[in-house]
Amino acid sequence: MTVTVRELLDVSGERLKLRLVAGARGLDRPIAQPRVQLPGLALAGFLPQLHPDRVQVLGNSEVSYLATLEEAAARAATRAVAEAGVSCFVVTNGNEPPPVLVESAEAAGVPVLRSALRTADFIDVATAWLETRLAPETLLHGDLVEIHGVGVLILGKSGIGKSEAALELVSRGHRLVADDVVQVRRLSPSVVRGHAARLLEHQMEIRGVGVIDIEALFGTLATLDERQIDLVVELVEWPGAPDRLGLVEERHELLEVELPLVRLPVRPGRTIAMLVETAARNYLLRRRGRNTATELAARVDRELEERRGRRRAREGV
């Protein structure tokens, strides 16, 4: 996945205090890496240090270094970097881009941007924005709700009752993030977050009723724009063969992140929303170190061992 320099300028230009100085024909160049780079070593001639498809940031040190070079040497240094496949140059601290940089960038079709931010501030804000935009993502058919601070992704085949369960959870005071289509993004090796498609925000489709606006019906506190996914609940058709005690901890892989999984068999008479809420409560309990299933199994094992001991004592063993 990539973003373009044009997107960086248009979408986050105000936050980054950016303006275009030169190289407009290169605004559609891709940015493929979220980490920006200070090209000091590359300007000094060590080009293996340079990473293509990255934003190159020139702070006070880089600008000052270019000023110490003879014009021909400065031109050669900036030309070598500009022709190495970089995404763009950003000159920070409100400095004017050196003329040799502008000349080399124009010739190579590389945009030159100027930012009023300090170098460290620009790097922090730009990296955070790029990490979000370049994060791996996927679309899922399901519902995402927040229950007692737990992000619960409800999955299951079409028509099994995901939306109805989510609606009842909202009526019980929980919050809807997305219905039907959940856009999921991996922000780190262990964190995935989900949100609704832009056109479906706060909307829900209920068979027999139609499309409803959750925010209008239940208030602004009934919805949430985005939420980390902590637990996956899969609704499955009855009959099934679930683990009766809950000793087997299943996992669901989502964008290479392993999440705890609970399978709930669905049949008439079962209040699915209450069961999903209970699964979320049980997840919180396990995070605090309490596992009711294993505690029960341990008690049963102790009781059986004590009975065997009493039997051996009676038999004189």
Q: Which residues are marked as active site? A: 141, 162, 180, 244
Strand order from edge to edge, sheet including 112-115: 18-22, 112-115, 88-91, 55-58
Q: How far is CA 240 from CA 64, 194, 232, 236, in A?
A: 70, 29, 18, 8
Residues 6+ positions from 93 with CB-CB distance below 8 Å: 59, 60, 115, 116, 117, 118, 119
Residues 6+ positions from 74 with CB-CB distance below 8 Å: 66, 98, 100
Q: Which DSSP state fits 161?
A: S
Residue 246's nearest CA partner among 264, 232, 229 is 264
Identify the residue whose tokens are 């945009």. 111
Asked if 57 contacts 113 with a C-beta cutoff of 8 angstroms, the reply is no
Asked if 254 contacts 232 with a C-beta cutoff of 8 angstroms, the reply is yes
Separation between Cα atoms, residue 213 and residue 204, nearest integer Å = 7
- Burial of 156-180, coded b for 16+ CB within 10 Å and e otherwise, reads beeebbbbebbbbbbeeebbbbbbb
Is residue 242 helix, strand or coil?
A: coil
Residues 6+ positions from 243 with CB-CB distance below 8 Å: none
